[in-house]
Each structure stands twice: as structure tokens, then as C-alpha cells.
């Protein structure tokens, strides 16, 4: 989900090059050509209106699901709650529905951020508060499941090129380091190429170690 986001646009050609078939969930017909040019199949839909049963039906045909969507407060608190919290929670409910039905359940990668389950924000800071609380609720909810999942915890994101990774404690604070979006895309590709997802959560910043070391 969030197939037209910055990280998804970087990860899609990497995944295709690694031999994966990629479907990108996007909201606009105008984005289809760009997605298809990257080698992916475009799936049109609206995260805010897709029901749990609809997600379950969609997910039943896949081996893995990556949540890369997010309003992040940019469209106001109401949309942030709808996308970052309610939309994401609906996908988790859908995976548990598949699990309860006894069918195959895709792996799930959640792109979050470092310290999401502990971060606090002022309720008066509407959009940012909504984002902080939404991500917290989703990560905590995912942690209560026995799904095969991986929560990614990058630090502040940047657009510089990736030159390697440094895995850090999930409770690290006061960091000056950043995490390039390209590195997040590389981590997704590495994780989905393995027979088993790495231990969750996985917190990381730009470093010198190969991504294969995660």
C-alpha cells in the first residue's frame, strides 16, 4: 500500500529486479503509467474506504504485504487518523481474518519510524499528534498478533544515496544520524528475499555494513 510514496517508488524496481512480482496499491489513475513503467501492476483503491473483507480478498493472492502508505499529518488530523491508523489497522484485521480462516497468510512489513511506540506529542498539535498516536496504535496492535511481521524503524528520512546500514537498538534516543529512503527500500527488498523475516522491530540508520547483515 502507498505504492506511489517515495520509498515505494524506490523499492518497486529493486523488488522487480530481485524477481518479485509487485502490485502497487495507489489512489489515482494518473499514477498508473508511472507505476507500470517501474515493472509493477497498479491496483487502484482508497485506503480510507477499503473494508477489512476487501483487504482480505485482495491479500489472499499475495505472499507479502508492505505498508508504505501514510498521510503523516500533511492532509490534516482527520485524514491522518483515517489513513495512518484506521487504514493500517484494517489491513492487520484482514490478515488475522485470513489466519482465522486457515488459509495462507502473507508476510507483513510495516514501515514505521524509530521510537514510534514510545513517542509522545502535544494533543494541541493536531496533525502531528494524530500521526504520533496513529503510528503508536498500529505498531502496538501489530505487536499483539502472531502474524509473520516486521516493523521497520528508520530514523529521520533523507534522500541521499545509501552506502550501507547500521542496526541500532529500538530504544535509541538522541540520534543525529539519518536513514536514507533508498536504504529503507533496500531493507525491504532484502527482507522479502529471505525465507524468514528478520526479528522485529528492526531499527536502523545509514552506516557502513552491507544490508545483507540485517
> Which CATH number characterizes residue 124's domain?
3.40.50.720
Please tell me the predicted confidence (pLDDT) of residue 214.
96
Please tell me the predicted confidence (pLDDT) of residue 126.
84
What's the CA gap between 90 and 67, in Å, rounded?
12
Structural domains of the chain, count: 1
Each residue of 112-129: pLDDT tens digit?
A: 999 999 999 999 888 999
Q: Are residues 52 and 101 in contact, defined by beta-carbon separation less than 8 angstroms? A: no
What's the CA gap between 28 and 154, in Å, rounded?
27
Domain that holds residue 190: 46-213
Q: What grid cell was written down for 94?
A: 484482514
Please tell me the predicted confidence (pLDDT) of residue 181.
98
Within a domain: 130: yes
Low pLDDT (below 70) residues in the chain: 73
Please tell me the predicted confidence (pLDDT) of residue 4.
92
Amino acid at each position: 500500500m502507498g505504492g506511489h510514496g517515495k520509498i515505494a517508488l524506490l523499492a518497486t524496481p529493486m523488488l522487480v529486479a530481485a524477481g518479485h512480482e509487485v502490485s502497487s496499491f495507489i489512489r489515482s489513475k494518473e499514477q498508473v503509467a508511472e507505476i507500470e513503467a517501474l515493472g509493477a501492476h497498479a491496483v487502484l483503491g482508497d485506503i480510507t474506504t477499503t473494508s477489512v473483507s476487501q483487504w482480505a480478498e485482495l491479500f489472499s493472492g499475495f505472499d507479502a504485504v508492505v505498508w508504505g502508505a501514510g498521510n503523516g499529518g500533511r492532509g490534516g488530523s482527520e485524514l491522518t487518523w483515517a489513513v495512518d491508523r484506521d487504514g493500517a489497522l484494517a489491513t492487520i484485521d484482514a490478515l488475522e481474518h485470513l489466519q482465522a480462516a486457515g488459509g495462507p497468510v502473507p508476510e507483513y512489513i510495516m514501515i514505521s519510524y524509530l521510537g514510534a511506540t514510545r513517542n509522545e506529542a502535544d494533543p494541541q498539535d493536531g496533525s502531528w499528534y494524530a500521526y504520533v498516536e496513529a503510528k503508536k496504535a498500529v505498531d502496538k496492535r501489530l505487536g499483539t498478533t502472531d502474524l509473520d511481521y516486521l516493523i521497520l524503524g528508520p530514523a529521520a528520512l533523507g534522500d541521499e544515496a545509501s552506502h550501507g546500514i547500521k542496526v541500532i537498538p529500538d530504544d535509541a534516543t538522541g540520534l543525529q544520524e539519518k536513514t536514507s529512503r533508498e536504504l529503507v527500500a533496500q531493507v525491504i527488498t532484502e527482507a522479502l528475499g529471505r525465507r524468514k523475516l528478520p526479528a522485529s522491530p528492526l531499527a536502523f540508520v545509514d552506516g557502513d555494513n552491507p544490508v545483507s547483515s540485517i
